[in-house]
Amino acid sequence: MKIKNLKLNGVTALAPMAGVTDKAYREICKKFGVSYVISEMISAKGLIYNNENTFKLMEISESERPTGIQFFGNEPDIMARACEIAERFKPDVIDVNMGCPVPKVVNNGCGSALMKNPELCYKIISSMVNSTSTPITVKIRKGWDENQENAIEIAMACEEAGASAITIHGRTKSQMYSLTADWQIIKDVKNTVSIPVIGNGDILSAYDAIDMLNTTNCDMVMVGRGSLGNPWIFKEINEKIYLGKKPKPPSVIEKVDVMLEHINTLCKYKGELHGMKEARKYVAWYIKGLKCAAKFRNEAGKLNSFNELLDLSRRLMKENKM
Ligand SMILES: Cc1cc2nc3c(=O)[nH]c(=O)nc-3n(C[C@H](O)[C@H](O)[C@H](O)COP(=O)(O)O)c2cc1C
């Protein structure tokens, strides 16, 4: 599929996840064959006010490309200015967050709050499109709540404003992450717009991915929580689709090796002290389902150094008879 002039090989995308999909995470998923990755959401205002932490979030490594940067914000001028500044980081795509349900984002009129105002959505996209030649895309939900399910209207407004693709998560803002995602709305949006549609919500296996592609006819599937501690999901989806191979879970050794590689890269980018604090949640995700996972998860919550992680890994493997 193509996002404007950008050709994407394959059908899988990594969902933007704040506090999760940093450069190290995106690189690991790329190693396992994801076709397209997106940054955590980044404040457009933070960027234009030269916030140093915001600049760090913008960094992209060559090995992870093609990469989208996701902005949140609600002022067309600021969003456009952020696109101009973003050019120095050479994102392949700039995505707009119109789906975040978190109060501190929504209460500032950003994220899914934008879906209450289709005219503003149109203005934001059109001013961004006019400010840069980088493709502009948008990620939406099904609507604000069950009384305002307007994904189709928003998708049409964004397409008309010049968006090059749309991702839709089949839940309303009010649902947050509860209940199951409604894939029918993905199909409806796909049937309405001419630009590519990326389907999102509840893909936890290669079978789910194929199911979503078949039932909604979307152009690409986006995986979020299904990739936590499980970058293999992208390899499994590709192997199932292109080779007809049945997914085979990774061995304990493989899990530990990939976890160590991931955390090592994280520490390289963020420094060991900061990196290991962030590593705690990733370790807990990687070891889920292994023998004595609860005990090791407890320990993971106190990790301070990479050496401590090496020690934990050795004991984890022993416990799992490796
Ligand atoms: C921890 C976490 C952080 C998230 N952060 C973002 C974000 O920054 N931007 C965004 O558009 N969606 C964000 N989302 C939503 C996901 O991109 C995705 O739409 C949602 O998790 C549904 O997909 P899934 O069922 O594959 O997880 C986040 C989700 C989670 C679980």
- Which of 218, 243, 268 terminates a domain? The answer is 243
Our count of domains for the chain comes to: 2
> Which atom in ligand 1 lies closest to the alpha carbon of residue 226?
26
Active site residue 110: no
169 CA closest ligand 1 atom index: 19
Tell me: do 157 and 299 sit in the same domain: no
Q: Which of 183, 210, 243 is the last residue of a domain?
A: 243
Q: The CATH number of the domain where 261 resides is what? A: 1.10.1200.80
Percent of the chain with pLDDT over 90: 98
pLDDT (mean) for 158-168: 98
Residue carrying structure tokens 């992208």: 234
Structure tokens at 14: 């990594």
- Assess whether pLDDT exceeds 70 at residue 134: yes
| Pair (174, 286) in one structural domain | no
Q: What is the CATH number of the domain that holds 89?
A: 3.20.20.70
pLDDT tens per residue, range 48-73: 998 899 999 999 999 999 999 999 99
Same domain for 152 and 76? yes
- In this structure, are 60 and 174 located in the same domain? yes
Nearest CA residue ID for atom 15, ligand 1? 17
- Give yes or no: residues 222 and 273 share one domain: no
181 with 40, same domain: the answer is yes
Range of the domain at 299: 252-319
- Tokens 């192997």 belong to 239
Token pair in block for residue 307:
């050496």
The DSSP 8-state label assigned to residue 36 in this structure reads B
Token readout for 229 is 């501690």
Do 281 and 313 reside in the same domain of the chain?
A: yes
Q: Atom 1 of ligand 1 has which residue's CA nearest to it?
A: 17
226 lines ligand 1 (CB under 6 A): yes
Contact partners, residue 318, CB within 8 Å, separation at least 6: none
- Interval 252-310: pLDDT, tens: 999 999 999 999 999 999 999 999 999 999 999 999 999 999 999 999 999 999 999 99
40 lines ligand 1 (CB under 6 A): yes
Please give the structure tokens belonging to residue 72.
């949140």
- Each residue of 67-87: pLDDT tens digit? 999 999 999 999 999 999 999
The pTM (predicted TM-score) of the whole model is 0.98
Strand order in the sheet with 93-98: 12-14, 220-223, 197-200, 165-172, 136-143, 93-98, 67-72, 37-43
Please work out whether the CB of residue 225 comes within 6 Å of at least one atom of ligand 1: yes
CB 71 within 8 A of CB 95: yes
My answer on whether 208 and 288 are in the same domain is: no
Which of 196, 222, 243 lies at the terminal end of a domain, its last residue?
A: 243
Question: Is residue 202 within 6 Å of ligand 1 at its C-beta?
Answer: yes
CA of 95, closest atom in ligand 1: 11
Who has greater pLDDT, 321 or 254?
Answer: 254
- 141 and 91, same domain (yes or no): yes
What are the tens digits of pLDDT across the range 191-201? 999 999 999 99
Is there an atom of ligand 1 within 6 Å of 100 CB? yes
- A 10 A CB-CB count for 39 gives 28
pLDDT at 321: 80
